[in-house]
Amino acid sequence: MFHIEKKQNFQNKEGYFIIGVFQEGEKFGEWFSKLDDSFQNHLRELVKSGDISGKKKAVSVIHTFGWIGAKRLLFVGLGQRKKMTKEDLVESFGAAFQTVKKNRGDSLAIDLQSFITARVDPLTVAKLAAESFILSTYTFKGYKQKENKPDVEIEKFTVYYDGNEEEIKKALVTGYIYGRATNSARTLVNTPSNLLTADHLAKYAKMLADRYGFECEILEKEDMEKLGMGALLAVNQGSENPPKLIVLKYQGRKEWKNVIGLVGKGITFDTGGYSLKPRDGLVNMKTDMGGAAAVLGAMEIIGERKPEQNVVAVIPSTDNMISGKAFKPDDVITSMSGKTIEVLNTDAEGRLVLADGITYAKQHGADVLVDVATLTGGVIVALGSDKTGAITNDEALLEKIIDASKETGEMIWQLPLTEKDREKVRNSKIADLNNSPSREGHAIMGGAFIGEFAEDTPWVHLDIAGTSIVKSGYELGPAGATGVMVRTLATFVEEFSENNE
Ligand code: BES
Ligand code: ZN
Ligand code: ZN
C-alpha cells in the first residue's frame, strides 16, 4: 500500500495530494512557489484570501483541472508552526484522510516535508501519517443486509520525501502496525456479546498465538475449579456461557525473567447481575471487555515487532448474568489467592475477575503488573471521557506508563490510593475484603480492591471506562470503540525493554 517517492514533479497521478499548511506569517517556500507556477500563481491568492486555511484541522480541497497530475490538492491546516504538537498533527492528518474517505478517493499522496517542524521530525511525521491513516479511516462493518454505498478503499498511499527511504519505510510500517492493532481491538469491542462470548475471545487469542508464535493457554471452568478461582467463577455462575481464562506468553528474552504481566478485564456483557443495572445503563455493556481488547491489541503489536521483553497476558473472561444460579449480594467467595470476599454488589464484577487474573499472572512470573479495565462509572465522573484513570502502588512504574501515553497521546491521569482507601476495602465483618464499600470515590475503591491482589508486586491499574468508547465520530475514528491503551501498552512494553538491559 505504501510507496515512497523522492521527487514530486507534479505530474504523478493520484486522487488527492495532501499538503500541510501553517497559519499566518509564513513565506511561500521554493517548493510551494513551484507548485503555484503550475496554477499561474492562483494558489497564493487562495492562501491570502483564506480559501486555503492554515487553521488547525481546516481542510481545503481544490480541483486541479489537470494542471498537475493529481486530481485534487488537499490542504490541511496545522495551526502555528511553533506550537504544533504531535496530537495536533495527528488530528489534522485524521481530518485530511477522513475527507478523502468521505469523498471516496482511492489513492492519496502526502508531501511529508510540509508537515515537519523543529519539534516533530520526519520519521515521527511518517509514523503518525500511517497510523492516523489507518485509525481515521476505520469503520466497523456491522450487520446491515444492504450497505448503501459500495466500499471504496484507499489503496495507494504515496509519500514524497527526499530522505532515507529505508528509515521512512520503517516508520510507515510501524505506524501501520500500531494503527491496525488498535483497529483490531476496536472491532472486538464493537462486536455484540451474542457474537463475542468468552469462547470467541479465547479463539481470537489462539489465532494471534498461532500467527505470532505465542504460547497460549486457555483455562476451562474445570481448571478454574481446580485452581480455586472462586472470584472469576462466582461472576460466571449465572451464565449459560462457560468462562475462559486466556493466557498468552511472549518470550522475547533468553530467560523467563523480568516479565511484564498485562491483565485485561474480559466481561463480554455486564448486566450488573442481581445488582442489576438500570435499562439505560445496560446499553453498551458489550464493551465491558475493552481491557481485554487493549491487551490483545498490544499483543498483536508485540507479535509484529518482537521487542526484547517477556510478556504474559492474562484475560479473565465471562459475561455477568442473572439466573437461579447467579451469585448474589451477601455471598462470600474465596479467590484464587485465598483471600475471601464479601460480595456487596454483583455489579462490581470487574475487580473480582481481575483479582484471579492478577493472582494467576503473578504465579506465572509477572514481575510488574498492568491491569486494564472498564471498571467504574466513577472514573468518568472524575476525569471525563478523554482521560484514563490510573492507580498504582509504584510511582516509578506509573511514570513509565505515563511516558508511553505521552508518546501516543492517550491521556492518563492518576487517582490517589491512600491507606484509608485500602482499609475501606478490607472492611468486612465476615470476610477479608468487600467488593464495594460505597459509591464515594468508587473509582479509587475499585483500584484499592485490585491492589490487594497485586500485593507487593509493582502494579498499575488503568480504568478505561470513560475512554474505551466515544459517543460521536472524531478525527481518529467513528463513534464506538476507540481501542484505547493498545498503543500505550505496546509502547510501554517496547520502552521497558529498552531501559531494562
Ligand atoms: N462495567 C461497569 C463500569 C462501566 C460503567 C463501564 C459505565 C463503562 C461505562 C462496572 O462493572 C460497574 O458496573 N461498575 C460499577 C461499580 C460500582 C457497583 C461500585 C459502577 O461504576 O457503577
Ligand atoms: Zn458491573
Ligand atoms: Zn463491568
Structure confidence at residue 430 as a pLDDT band (50, 70, 90): very high
The Cα–Cα gap between 400 and 378 comes to 25
319 Cβ closer than 6 Å to some ligand 1 atom = no
Choosing from 232, 346, 376 the residue with most ligand 1 atoms within 8 A of its CB, the one to mutate for a pocket test is 376
DSSP 34: H
399-414: per-residue pLDDT in tens?
999 999 999 999 999 9
Average pLDDT over residues 151-158: 87
CATH for 180-499?
3.40.630.10
Amino acid at 204: Y
The Cα–Cα gap between 54 and 58 comes to 7
DSSP character string of 321-363: --STTS--TT-EEE-TTS-EEE-S-TT--HHHHHHHHHHHHHH
The structural domains of the chain, with segments of one domain joined by +, span 2-142+153-162, 180-499
**Does residue 445 contact residue 437 with C-beta atoms inside 8 Å?**
yes
Annotated binding site for Mn(2+): 265, 270, 288, 347, 349
Rounded to the nearest whole angstrom, what is the distance from the C-alpha of residue 376 to the centroid of ligand 1?
4
Average pLDDT score, the chain: 95
From its phi and psi, is residue 203 left (phi > 0), alpha (psi between -120 and 50) or beta? alpha
Instruction: Please list the active-site residues.
Output: 277, 351
Rounded to the nearest whole angstrom, what is the distance from the C-alpha of residue 393 to the centroid of ligand 1?
22
Structure confidence at residue 8 as a pLDDT band (50, 70, 90): confident
104-137: per-residue pLDDT in tens?
999 999 999 999 999 999 999 999 999 999 999 9
| Architecture label for domain 2-142+153-162 | 3-Layer(aba) Sandwich (3.40)
Q: Which residues does residue 477 pair with via DSSP β-bridges, in sequence order?
A: 474
266 Cβ closer than 6 Å to some ligand 1 atom = no
466 Cβ closer than 6 Å to some ligand 1 atom = no
Closest among 29, 44, 180 to 113, alpha carbons compared: 29
Closest among 85, 285, 184 to 490, alpha carbons compared: 184
300 Cβ closer than 6 Å to some ligand 1 atom = no
474-489: per-residue pLDDT in tens?
999 999 999 999 999 9
The Cα–Cα gap between 445 and 463 comes to 12
Rounded to the nearest whole angstrom, what is the distance from the C-alpha of residue 406 to the centroid of ligand 1?
27
**In the predicted structure, residue 11 carries a pLDDT above the cut 90:** no
Average pLDDT over residues 32-48: 91
Q: What are phi and psi of 19, to 5 degrees?
A: -130, 135
Taking the alpha carbons of 467, 471, 477, 478 in that order, is the dihedral positive or negative?
A: positive
The Cα–Cα gap between 215 and 46 comes to 58
Ligand 1 atom closest to the CA of 374, numbered from 1: 6
Ligand nearest to the CA of 273: 2
The Cα–Cα gap between 263 and 130 comes to 28
Closest residue CA from atom 13 of ligand 1: 347
**In the predicted structure, residue 499 carries a pLDDT above the cut 60:** no
**In the predicted structure, residue 147 carries a pLDDT above the cut 90:** no
288-321: per-residue pLDDT in tens?
999 999 999 999 999 999 999 999 999 999 999 9
Helix ranges, 137-197 (H): 165-190
**In the predicted structure, residue 498 carries a pLDDT above the cut 60:** no
* 186 three-state secondary structure: helix
pTM of the model: 0.97
Rounded to the nearest whole angstrom, what is the distance from the C-alpha of residue 370 to the centroid of ligand 3?
18
350 Cβ closer than 6 Å to some ligand 1 atom = yes
Give the count of beta carbons closer than 10 Å to the beta carbon of residue 151. Answer: 8
Q: Which residues does residue 215 pair with via DSSP β-bridges, in sequence order?
A: 249
